[in-house]
């Protein structure tokens, strides 16, 4: 376990999956991150790569060759190397291997960087590099879960998620685990959304952000403390809590990719929102978490 500390917050990151495990404030004794109680959900903040969401039948083809891969890809269950570690900074690396090539036919490097600033912001940065001799196809995403409520006096149902800019967003519905982007809905964030477990009866609420900068704020009605998740350029963000389980957390998930569409032909080349990376090129994606 790797620890970052700026004197105000202590952050813990597991080399297994490069997974953010804890953001703790000693002064207030608030733990901001969900603590992976397996009764509800056994993860805290998995890194999603090289796919986001689920593939039809957990299968795809690339250049007519068949492959199988589970939900959200293999990075979340992989051991990362620690390339650098300072008091407030850590870099984790995952590279292609014989094992990854059996399910994903690209040579790659994925770096995940965590940096804790003096103003209590944790930046999370993904750098994807194509070490293949041909174009690489990939998705990447984050899945951080936050404790709800954060403080005594609040409940799940007295906690809100608000969004800047305050506007209506296109919502991509899910049919089972697959996206139905051809039949979008509207999700109104002109006012804060009060959390209710019934919101998630059809799984995650997926917002089409149109790559604009967006801030999500989680705060209880009776608390001065909360969380801002700042998303600079992700095309989508999911808001999720398990259903029908009454789970005391909510996830804000920036995605550079999305689950297969209901009418997917299972060809990776045709997958909705897939990212394309030229040989020897790199692409950077990221978000940040601000605590108050």
Q: Indicate the SS3 state at residue 57.
A: helix
Contact 119, 228 (CB under 8 A): no
What backbone torsions phi and psi does residue 211 show, to the nearest 5 degrees? 65, 15
Residue 183 DSSP class: S
Per-residue pLDDT of the chain (292 residues; tens, 9 = 90+): 999 999 999 999 999 999 999 999 999 999 999 999 999 999 999 999 999 999 999 999 999 999 999 999 999 999 999 999 999 999 999 999 999 999 999 999 999 999 999 999 999 999 999 999 999 999 999 999 999 999 889 999 999 999 999 999 999 999 999 999 999 999 999 999 999 999 999 999 999 999 999 999 999 999 999 999 999 999 999 999 999 999 999 999 999 999 999 999 999 999 999 999 999 999 999 999 999 9
H or E element at residue 276: strand 275-277
Q: Indicate the SS3 state at residue 291.
A: strand
Report pLDDT for 82: 98
Angle at 243 between CA 240 and CA 248, to 5 degrees: 70
Give the residue among 148, 153, 119 at the shortest CA–CA distance from 32.
148
Report pLDDT for 148: 97
| Cis omega (within 30 of 0) for bond into 165 | yes
Q: Find residue 206's DSSP bridge partners.
A: 172, 238
DSSP line for 94-141: EE--HHHHTTS---EEEEEEEEE-TTSEEEEEEEEEE-SSS-EEE-EE
Task: Round to whole Å and give the CA distance between 107 and 115.
Answer: 27
pTM metric for this prediction: 0.96
Task: Round to whole Å and give the CA distance between 142 and 237.
Answer: 9
Give every CB contact of residue 81 below 8 A, 6+ residues apart in sequence: 15, 92, 93, 94
Report pLDDT for 105: 98
Task: Round to whole Å and give the CA distance between 50 and 274.
Answer: 10
Report pLDDT for 283: 98
Contact 20, 32 (CB under 8 A): no
- For the stretch 127-160, pLDDT in tens is 999 999 999 999 999 999 999 999 889 999 999 9
Contact 20, 114 (CB under 8 A): yes
Percent of the chain with pLDDT over 70: 100
Report pLDDT for 66: 98
Contact 277, 257 (CB under 8 A): no
Report pLDDT for 150: 94
Alpha carbon distance, N-terminus to C-terminus of the chain: 25
Report pLDDT for 162: 97
């Amino acid at each position: 376990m790797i620890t970052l500390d700026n004197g105000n917050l202590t952050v813990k990151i597991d080399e297994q999956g490069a997974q953010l495990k804890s953001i703790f404030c000693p002064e207030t004794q608030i733990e901001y991150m969900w603590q992976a109680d397996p009764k509800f959900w056994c993860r805290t903040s998995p890194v999603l790569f090289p796919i986001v969401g689920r593939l039809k039948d957990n299968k795809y083809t690339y250049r007519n060759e068949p492959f199988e891969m589970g939900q959200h890809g293999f990075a979340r269950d992989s051991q990362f190397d620690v390339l650098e570690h300072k008091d407030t900074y850590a870099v984790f690396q995952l590279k292609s291997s014989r094992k990854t090539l059996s399910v994903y036919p690209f040579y790659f490097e994925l770096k995940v960087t965590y940096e804790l600033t003096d103003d209590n912001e944790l930046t999370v940065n993904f750098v994807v590099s194509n070490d293949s001799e041909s174009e690489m196809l990939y998705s990447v995403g984050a899945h951080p879960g936050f404790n709800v409520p954060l403080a005594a006096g609040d409940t799940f149902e007295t906690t809100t998620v608000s969004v800047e800019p305050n506007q209506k967003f296109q919502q991509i519905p899910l049919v089972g685990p697959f996206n139905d982007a051809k039949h979008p809905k509207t999700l109104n964030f002109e006012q804060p959304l009060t959390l209710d477990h019934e919101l998630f009866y059809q799984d995650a609420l997926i917002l089409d952000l149109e790559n604009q900068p967006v801030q999500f704020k989680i705060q209880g009605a009776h608390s001065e403390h909360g969380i801002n998740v700042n998303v600079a350029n992700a095309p989508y963000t999911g808001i999720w809590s398990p259903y029908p389980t009454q789970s005391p957390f909510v996830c804000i998930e920036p995605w550079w990719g999305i689950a297969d569409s209901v009418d997917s032909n299972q060809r990776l080349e045709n997958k909705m929102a897939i990212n394309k990376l030229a040989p020897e090129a790199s692409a950077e994606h990221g978000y940040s978490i601000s605590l108050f």
